[in-house]
């Protein structure tokens, strides 16, 4: 499973990639985001074009730029991201196939184009979206929760939503985010990691929880440990995977724990 770190710190990003992460995400998305996520305690970054240039110079890892949702500004953002060295752009808050097609036309093969499925409209159109030549497709749980008017972040992982989207996707597929084994809230990182393995997730993000949990720790120790924990989960047999799935569902729904076993660290 490829790990992508959200950061604009060149030294930190260089070390995490050198330790085994696949790449870096620089985040330009903020148009309308503060209003959409008001009161939600979400992460809103203020990364700049200059940050993208600095991160390109810092690492040979895959460099991804999340631009703003589609609008009149998109042509300029795509051009600038390409000019400053992005290997891919990520288009957030997708609602229609047309806006994805227009973004692909704007990129014109100069960089990969990935999308974030984080609205009900995108969920409903996931099969059509997955027929586009996209570099990756990621289900964004926070904005999907807000779009649905829900207060349950992980509900799409237990109600069949993410499974249904996953079934349509042949491109690299991502969902959720990870932090260090033994950490994680409100669901443990180990149970969430087991769920990502069950879904055959190809990539995920390392965001503020990972950065906070890494304080005072060595990325050359911790990133391989995280990757090793994912590899161990992939070696589980069907019975072990079923237990982890049951424990995950119990943790999300608040039901009593279904089996007296130890959750993955």
For 12, the domain range is 2-253
Per-residue model confidence (pLDDT) at position 79:
98
Domain annotation covers residue 163: yes
- CATH number of the structural domain spanning residue 167: 3.20.20.60
Positive or negative CA dihedral for 212, 44, 146, 98? Answer: negative
Question: Tokens in use for 54?
Answer: 């600095």
Is residue 263 a part of any domain in this protein? no
pLDDT band at 19 (very low <50, low <70, confident <90, very high): very high
What would the mean pLDDT of 237-261 be, rounded to a whole number? 81
Angstrom distance (rounded) from CA 107 to CA 99: 12
What is the pLDDT at residue 261?
43
User: Token pair of 211, please?
Assistant: 């950065």
pLDDT of residue 173: 98
Query: Is the pLDDT at 256 greater than 80, yes or no?
Result: no
Average pLDDT, rounded, for the chain: 92
Q: Quick check: is 102 in a domain?
A: yes
CA 88 vs CA 14, 50, 133, 236: distances in Å: 18, 16, 13, 33
Report how far apart the first and last C-alpha atoms of the chain are (Å, whole number): 17
Contact 86, 65 (CB under 8 A): yes
Read off the pLDDT of each residue in 88-115 and give the average, rounded to a whole number.
98
The reply to whether 264 falls in a domain is no
Q: Looking at residues 226-255, what average pLDDT do you find?
A: 94
Is residue 258 in a domain?
A: no
Of residues 99 and 41, more confidence is placed in 99
Q: Into how many domains does the chain fold?
A: 1
| Res 44: pLDDT | 56
In a domain, 262, yes or no: no
User: Quick one: what percent of the chain has pLDDT higher than 90?
Assistant: 86
Q: Is residue 243 part of a domain?
A: yes
Q: Mean pLDDT, to the nearest integer, of 164-192?
A: 94
- 82 falls within a domain: yes
Q: How far apart are CA 227 and CA 132, in angstroms?
A: 30
* pLDDT value of residue 260: 38
Least confident of 97-101, 171-175, 183-187, 242-246: 183-187
Residue 43 in this model has a pLDDT that exceeds 60: no
- Give the DSSP letter of residue 93: S
pLDDT at 101: 98
pLDDT band at residue 186 using 50, 70 and 90 as cut-offs = confident
Closest listed residue to residue 263, CA positions, set 247, 239, 251, 252: 247
Is residue 220 within 8 A of residue 170, CB to CB? The reply is no
Residue 262 confidence (pLDDT) above 80: no
């Amino acid at each position: 499973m490829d790990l992508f770190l959200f950061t604009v710190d060149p030294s930190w990003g260089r070390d995490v990639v050198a330790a085994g992460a696949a790449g870096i995400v620089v985040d330009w998305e903020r148009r309308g985001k503060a209003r959409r996520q008001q009161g939600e305690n979400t992460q809103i970054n203020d990364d700049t074009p200059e940050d993208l240039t600095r991160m390109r110079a810092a690492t040979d890892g895959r460099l991804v730029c999340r631009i703003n949702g589609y609008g009149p500004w998109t042509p300029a953002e795509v051009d600038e991201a390409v000019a400053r060295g992005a290997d891919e752009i990520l288009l957030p808050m997708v609602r229609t196939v047309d806006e994805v097609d227009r973004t692909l036309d704007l990129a014109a093969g100069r960089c990969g184009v990935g999308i974030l499925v984080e609205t009900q409209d995108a969920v409903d159109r996931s099969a059509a979206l997955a027929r586009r030549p996209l570099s990756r497709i990621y289900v964004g749980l926070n904005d999907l929760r807000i779009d649905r008017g829900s207060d349950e972040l992980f509900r799409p992982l237990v109600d069949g939503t993410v499974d249904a989207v996953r079934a349509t996707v042949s491109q690299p597929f991502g969902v959720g985010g990870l932090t260090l084994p033994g950490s994680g809230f409100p669901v443990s990182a180990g149970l969430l990691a087991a769920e990502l393995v069950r879904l055959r997730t190809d990539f995920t993000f390392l965001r503020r929880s990972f950065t906070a949990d890494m304080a005072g720790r060595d990325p050359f120790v911790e990133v391989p440990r995280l990757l090793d924990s994912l590899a161990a989960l992939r070696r589980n047999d069907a019975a072990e995977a079923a237990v982890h799935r049951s424990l995950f569902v119990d943790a999300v729904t608040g039901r009593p724990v279904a089996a007296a076993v130890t959750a993955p660290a």
